[in-house]
Structure formats: structure tokens, C-alpha cells
């Protein structure tokens, strides 16, 4: 048992830090276009590497990528990797069992080179394989928010 003189406890911080990060012009367009059920990628004008979500400088060849290099992606893609989760965090630092296991997949959209990570629904974990063809599922009302993309499902 520790005496009071041996410890200093900090239970709560006397302030709350808030942030409002600016997204940059490419991500701003990306988020706005989600309202129109469009997924934008950025195609490097020099080497052709296509990033989704878009960015403004190519990490491969250092070329600047402008708004004019944004392209529409179909929302269809291929599963290149995945995992199955059986628990979630309860917000208090503890694990909680999920009622149904959840699949999270790394998805390469058609005409894109980078991958995005999204929940995969409509398929049992034992049926999932790399190479599975998948398609975006929008939430009922799209508002121009990242949450507009609900999940992906097999085509």
C-alpha cells in the first residue's frame, strides 16, 4: 500500500484540447463529392500513380498534383487484404464481444493504386478471400461527410 507522500495522482486534466484541422483542397473536394455519391482519386500527371483519397503531391515522383488531376472512381474494387474482428473497445479501455464478427478489408478501387480500409458486409468470414470483387454501399442520405461511405459488399 502506497502512502500519499509517495504518489501524485492525476485523475483528470484541467482543460480539454480541441482541434479543427484543415483538410487541404484535394481532401475538401473528396469529402464534398461524397454527397453526390462520387469517390475522387488523384492521378499523378507525371507517373500516373492514383491516390485515393486524393493528395496534392506524388510520393513516388515528387510531382505536384492539382485539382485538375482529380478523377472519378467507380466505387467498384478488389479486396487485397482483410481481417476479422471479434471484439470492440467499449470506450472505457475494455474489450466487448461483438454479436457478429466484423470484417475490415483493404480495398483497391478500379483505376486506383492505393488502397482504402473499409468494413465489408454481406459475406461470412469463412467465405472471404483476397481477390473478392466488392462495391461501395452509401448510407441512405449522403451529406458530404466521410461517414457517407457506409461499407463495401461483394458484387
147 binds, among Zn ion, another protein, none (CB under 5 to 8 A by kind): none
Return the SS3 of 78.
strand
CB of 46 to another protein, least distance (A): 12
Instruction: Tell me, by CB under 8 A, how many residues bind another protein.
Output: 22
CB of 77 to Zn ion, least distance (A): 21
Part of the chain binding another protein (CB under 8 A), chosen from 58-66, 72-80, 91-99, 142-150: 58-66
155 binds another protein (CB under 8 A): no
- Alpha carbon distance 23, 47 (integer Å): 24
Part of the chain binding another protein (CB under 8 A), chosen from 24-32, 68-76, 96-104, 135-143: 24-32
Cell of 32: 464534398
Cβ-based nearer residue to Zn ion, 35 or 61 = 61
Judged by CB under 8 A, the residue of 1, 3, 4, 10 near another protein is: 10
List phi, psi (to 5°) of 148: -60, -35
Termini Cα distance of the chain: 60
25 binds, among another protein, Zn ion, none (CB under 5 to 8 A by kind): another protein
Cell of 85: 474482428
List phi, psi (to 5°) of 96: -130, 135
- Alpha carbon distance 107, 112 (integer Å): 10
Return the SS3 of 42.
strand
Contacts to another protein by CB under 8 A: 8, 10, 13-15, 17-25, 27, 55-60, 62
Amino acid at each position: 500500500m502506497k502512502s500519499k507522500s509517495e504518489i501524485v495522482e492525476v485523475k483528470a486534466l484541467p482543460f480539454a484540447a480541441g482541434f479543427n484541422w484543415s483538410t487541404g483542397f484535394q481532401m475538401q473536394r473528396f469529402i464534398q463529392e461524397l454527397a453526390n455519391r462520387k469517390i475522387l482519386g488523384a492521378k499523378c500527371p507525371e507517373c500516373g500513380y492514383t491516390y485515393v483519397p486524393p493528395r496534392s503531391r506524388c510520393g513516388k515522383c515528387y510531382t505536384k498534383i492539382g485539382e485538375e488531376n482529380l478523377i472519378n472512381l467507380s466505387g467498384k474494387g478488389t479486396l487485397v487484404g482483410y481481417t476479422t474482428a471479434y471484439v470492440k473497445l467499449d470506450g472505457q479501455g475494455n474489450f466487448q464481444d461483438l454479436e457478429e464478427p466484423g470484417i475490415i478489408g483493404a480495398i483497391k478501387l478500379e483505376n486506383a493504386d492505393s488502397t482504402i480500409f473499409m468494413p465489408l458486409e454481406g459475406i461470412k468470414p469463412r467465405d472471404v478471400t483476397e481477390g473478392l470483387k466488392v462495391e461501395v454501399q452509401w448510407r441512405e442520405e449522403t451529406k458530404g461527410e466521410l461517414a457517407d461511405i457506409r461499407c463495401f459488399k461483394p458484387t
